[in-house]
Amino acid sequence: MSKTHVTTKVNGDEVEFLCDPRETLLDVLRDRLGLTGAKEGCGTGDCGACSVTVDGRLVCSCLMLGVEAEGKEIGTVEGIAQGETLHPLQKKFIEYAALQCGICTPGILIAAKSLLEKNPAPTETEVRYWLAGNLCRCTGYDKIIRAVMDTAAEMREAS
């Protein structure tokens, strides 16, 4: 099957790739662009480990085709930190031990960042429902929720 040429932006950088029309955006990110931060936990949009943003909107990259990235702006976990400065969420996740194995962490960080951009003062319930599409099997979510709430509070103070 012939491949399609796609031009897109990932974490602010322009990239081009050729892909099979059946390849997902996640396949392209991982196998063609070498960005393995987004993970495939299920391939059916149920676990959120592959979360990325597309033109600012939170999506499961396993549910979108690579060819659909044409002309879009993609954001992945690799683009959250600014140079050596970590995003406040990244710092808090380390500080709170909000990860054990760390496989769900990239997706949860992307999803939590997306929440805080929309709602800088979420309640505990709002954080829990927003992150309900991101499975974590290690932590029981306790330290994740606390880390997100505390980041939100700190970012509010800083702004």
Partner 1 sequence: MALDSSKTTGFKYVGTRPNRPDGLDKVTGRAKFGADATAPGMLFAAIKRSPHAHAKIVKIDASKALAMEGVKAVVTRADFAEGLTGEDWNILENVMAGDTALYDGHAVAAVAATSALIAKDAIKAIEVEYQILPHVTDVDKAIEPDAPVIRAGAADASVPEGLHPNVVRYYESGHGDVEAGFAEADLVIEEHFTTEATHQGYIEPHACLGTLGGDGKGELWCCTQGHWNVQKVCAALLGLETSQLRVTASEIGGGFGGKTTVFIEPVALALSRKANRPVKLVMTRSEVFRASGPTSSTSMNVKIGMKKDGTITAAQGIFRLQGGAFPGAPCDMTAMCAFAPYNLKNVHQVGYDVITNRPKQAAYRAPGSPMAAFAVESVMDELCNQLGLDPIEVRLKNASHEGTTANFGITWPRIGLVETLEAAKAHPHYAAPLKPGQGRGISCGFWFNHGGETSVSLAMSEDGSAQIMVGTPDIGGSRASMALMAAEVLGIPYENIRCTIADTSSLGYNEISHGSRVTYASGLATIKAAEAAVEELCRRAAAKWDIPAEAVYWEDGYAKPSGPNAGDHEPLHITELTADMGATGGPINGHFEATPEGAGVSFATHIVDAEVDPETGATKVVRYTVVQDAGKAIHPTYVEGQFQGGAAQGIGWALNEEYIYGEDGRLQNAGFLDYRIPVASDLPFIDTVIVEVPNPGHPFGVRGVGETSICPPLAAIANAVSNAVGVRMRQLPMRPARVLEALESKNG
Give yes or no for residue 56 binding partner 1 (CB under 8 A).
no
Q: Of 69 and 111, which has the nearer Cβ to partner 1?
A: 111
- Interface residue with partner 1, options 18, 81, 121, 153 (CB under 8 A): 81
Give yes or no for residue 38 binding partner 1 (CB under 8 A).
yes
Least gap, CB of 61 to partner 1 (angstroms): 13
Question: How many C-beta neighbours within 10 Å does residue 18 have?
Answer: 13
Q: Are 39 and 28 in contact (CB under 8 A)?
A: no
Site for partner 1 in 97-136 (CB under 8 A): 97, 99-106, 109, 125, 127-129, 131-136
Count of positions on this chain that bind partner 1 (CB under 8 A)? 60
Give yes or no for residue 46 binding partner 1 (CB under 8 A).
yes
Round to whole Å and give the CA distance between 156 and 40.
33
Q: Are 34 and 22 in contact (CB under 8 A)?
A: no
19, burial (CB in 10 Å: exposed 0-12, middle 13-18, buried 19+): buried
**Tokens describing residue 36:** 């393995």
Angle at 142 between CA 141 and CA 147, to 5 degrees: 95
Q: Of 69 and 75, which has the nearer Cβ to partner 1?
A: 75
Residues at the interface with partner 1 (CB under 8 A): 20, 22-23, 27, 30-31, 35-44, 46-47, 49, 76-78, 80-81, 86, 90, 93-97, 99-106, 109, 125, 127-129, 131-146
